[in-house]
Amino acid sequence: MIYKRSSALFAEAEKVIPGGVNSPVRAFKGVGGTPVFVKEAKGAYLYDEDGNRLVDYINSWGPMILGHAFEPVVNAVVEKAKKGTSFGMPTEIETQIAELAVSMVPNIDKIRFVNSGTEACMSAVRLARGYTGKDKIIKFAGCYHGHSDSFLIQAGSGASTFGSPNSPGVTKGTAKDTLLARYNDIENVKALIEGNKNEIACIIIEPVAGNMGCIPPKSGFLEAIRSLCDTHNILLVFDEVMTGFRLAKGGCQELFNVKADIVCFGKVIGGGLPVGAFAARNEIMNHLAPLGPVYQAGTLSGNPLAMAAGLAMLTELNSHAEVFIRLEEKTAYLHEGIAKVLNDNNITHTINRVGSMISVHFDEAEVVDFDTAAKGNNDTFKKFFHGMLDSGVYIAPSAFETWFITDALSYEDLDFTIAAVNKVSKFL
Ligand SMILES: *Cc1c(COP(=O)(O)O)cnc(C)c1O
């Protein structure tokens, strides 16, 4: 495929935007080469600036669960825009989307809207600290909760050591309050709690990890965390920015029948506009300003265009719950097809999948946490990525990302994708 115009646009962008992008993974650093510039998108397809059509498995990293330029969402935004784009005053539509979200998700009474998943997680942790009066948090290596300071902490060697910042600009003071645990390792979580008695405000987790590939929680893992939280007066925060309104109407609380104390949303809840949200039961949410002392605010929070997009999206998902079944079936079909082709071509691999999240790892060991995810063969992944791109299939330009399946994908698209994997397998 030809990427002449994309290359030229990237060169221009690099002069005025750091690295040419407004979010790092987009720069293709993990796979090499020049990022593809999108011109437009419809349904399951992206059309780039050079006129190539790409079957899209990123879907804006999750939000476009019903496909690009989904008409009910587009129409809702267009109609709203004609009536003014921001007021900084309450509007009825904020209550409408809040009522709908609260009705779809178990175990929440109130929800506060913000502008991104980052803000949602950052605010959820502040609320957890304010509510419990404790400072420390536990997060899991390989889980992503946005780019706010407390979360940019990498696994050191020992899981029970204090976190050290993995970005300059995050202070040691901030990092020391973030404890790192290994995903799917409950003994590790127990040890951290024992070593920090009465100091831990919350445990934040992606209930299905999606930012180190797709990693499901082992059976009983979430339940065990829940019970530790109950015993030690720790709040459990489910970061459902990726999984919320994707894996089920009610997200992972519904899927695994485990209750969280605070739930974070983003991605699907905004229908492709910048939206995040966090939600909890009244006793916790009432600690938030203006009802309570924990401060949180936003000039554009609850923005009418964003709320219109989100409301149209949630309305669609709420009234067509069969979408989740269809998505799972399509993803399972893709899973089987890719597994068969990789096996036939003797390519070492592991495929993880939950619902409409799937990831292909080029390693035969089970992928259950960050360490096992990091073992995958990155050279193979790079070749795979570029081969797929040349075949007209766009997957995330990083071995640590989940593929997001959209309902706009037809079975022909899935077959096209499996055929591309077959073709690419020949030279991996
Ligand atoms: C994407 C993501 C975030 C961050 O959301 P942004 O809208 O990019 O700030 C947080 N948590 C999880 C699990 C995510 O996948």
Atom in ligand 1 nearest the alpha carbon of residue 242 = 15
Say if residue 55 is in the same domain as residue 143: no
Give the bridge partners for 55, in sequence order: 45, 393
Mean pLDDT by 10 residues, the chain (428 residues): 94 97 91 95 98 97 98 98 98 98 98 98 98 97 92 52 69 90 97 97 97 96 98 98 98 98 98 98 98 97 98 98 97 98 96 97 93 90 96 93 96 98 96
C-alpha–C-alpha distance, residues 302 and 305, integer Å? 9
Say if residue 208 is in the same domain as residue 339: no
Of 285, 319, 353, the one marking the end of a domain is 319
Is residue 364 classed as helix, strand or coil in its secondary structure?
coil
Centre of ligand 1 to C-alpha 58, Å, is: 14
Residue of 240, 241, 268, 357 best suited for mutating to test ligand 1, as the one with most atoms within 8 Å of CB = 241
Of 319, 340, 362, the one marking the end of a domain is 319
C-alpha–C-alpha distance, residues 406 and 356, integer Å? 8
Centre of ligand 1 to C-alpha 117, Å, is: 4
Closest residue to atom 10 of ligand 1, CA basis: 145
Which residues, 6+ apart, have CB-to-CB distance to 228 below 8 Å? 186, 189, 190, 193, 203, 234
* Active-site annotation holds for 144: yes
Determine how many CB atoms are found less than 10 A away from the CB of residue 103: 12
Which of these, 257, 271, 265, lies nearest to 65 by C-alpha position?
Answer: 271
Say if residue 261 is in the same domain as residue 357: no
- Which domain does 407 fall in, by range? 4-69+321-425
**Total domain count for the chain?**
2
- Is pTM beyond 0.75? Reply is yes
In this prediction, residue 156 carries a pLDDT of 35
Centre of ligand 1 to C-alpha 211, Å, is: 9
Say if residue 149 is in the same domain as residue 279: yes
Say if residue 62 is in the same domain as residue 91: no
Say if residue 388 is in the same domain as residue 243: no
Which residues, 6+ apart, have CB-to-CB distance to 426 below 8 Å? 345
C-alpha–C-alpha distance, residues 154 and 174, integer Å? 13
* Encoded tokens for 83: 């009536």
Say if residue 333 is in the same domain as residue 408: yes
C-alpha–C-alpha distance, residues 294 and 285, integer Å? 10
Is residue 225 classed as helix, strand or coil in its secondary structure?
helix
The identity of residue 235, as a single letter, is L
Say if residue 94 is in the same domain as residue 27: no
Residue-wise pLDDT for 43-83, tens only, equals 999 999 999 999 999 999 999 999 999 999 999 999 999 99
- Which one of the listed residues 267, 330, 394, 407 is annotated catalytic? 267
- Which one of the listed residues 48, 56, 177, 239 is annotated catalytic? 239
Closest residue to atom 6 of ligand 1, CA basis: 117
Cβ–Cβ under 8 Å, residues 68 and 275: no
Which of these, 137, 145, 96, 89, lies nearest to 117 by C-alpha position?
Answer: 145
Closest residue to atom 15 of ligand 1, CA basis: 242
Determine how many CB atoms are found less than 10 A away from the CB of residue 32: 10
- Domain containing 33 — which CATH number? 3.90.1150.10
Which of these, 332, 330, 326, 347, lies nearest to 421 by C-alpha position?
Answer: 347
- Which one of the listed residues 57, 131, 144, 183 is annotated catalytic? 144
Say if residue 350 is in the same domain as residue 303: no
Give the bridge partners for 360, in sequence order: 351
Residue of 25, 59, 139, 144 best suited for mutating to test ligand 1, as the one with most atoms within 8 Å of CB = 144
Strand 235-239 with 200-205, pairing: parallel
Cβ–Cβ under 8 Å, residues 140 and 373: no
Is residue 294 classed as helix, strand or coil in its secondary structure?
strand
In this prediction, residue 400 carries a pLDDT of 86
Ligand 1 neighbours by CB, cut-off 6 Å = 61, 116-118, 121, 144-146, 206, 210-211, 239, 241-242, 266, 276
Of 273, 296, 319, the one marking the end of a domain is 319
* Encoded tokens for 326: 């269809």
Residues in the chain: 428
179, containing H or E segment: strand 178-181
Whether the CA torsion 154, 157, 162, 164 is positive or negative: it is negative
Residue-wise pLDDT for 23-44, tens only, equals 988 999 889 999 999 999 999 9
Determine how many CB atoms are found less than 10 A away from the CB of residue 251: 25
H helix count then E strand count, the chain: 14, 16
* Active-site annotation holds for 177: no
Whether the CA torsion 393, 396, 399, 405 is positive or negative: it is negative
Centre of ligand 1 to C-alpha 394, Å, is: 20
Closest residue to atom 8 of ligand 1, CA basis: 117
3-state SS string over 184-205?
A: CCHHHHHHHHHHCCCCEEEEEE
Say if residue 111 is in the same domain as residue 163: yes
In this prediction, residue 154 carries a pLDDT of 58
C-alpha–C-alpha distance, residues 54 and 116, integer Å? 27
Centre of ligand 1 to C-alpha 112, Å, is: 16
Say if residue 390 is in the same domain as residue 404: yes
C-alpha–C-alpha distance, residues 163 and 234, integer Å? 19
* Encoded tokens for 245: 């309104």
- Domain containing 292 — which CATH number? 3.40.640.10
What Rg do the C-alpha atoms of the chain give, in angstroms? 21
* Active-site annotation holds for 261: no
* Encoded tokens for 75: 């129409």
Say if residue 303 is in the same domain as residue 263: yes
Centre of ligand 1 to C-alpha 240, Å, is: 9
Backbone φ, ψ for residue 372 (5° rounding): -70, -30
In this prediction, residue 169 carries a pLDDT of 87
Give the bridge partners for 41, in sequence order: 46
* Encoded tokens for 35: 């990022």
CA 178 from centroid of its chain's CA atoms: 20
In this prediction, residue 223 carries a pLDDT of 98
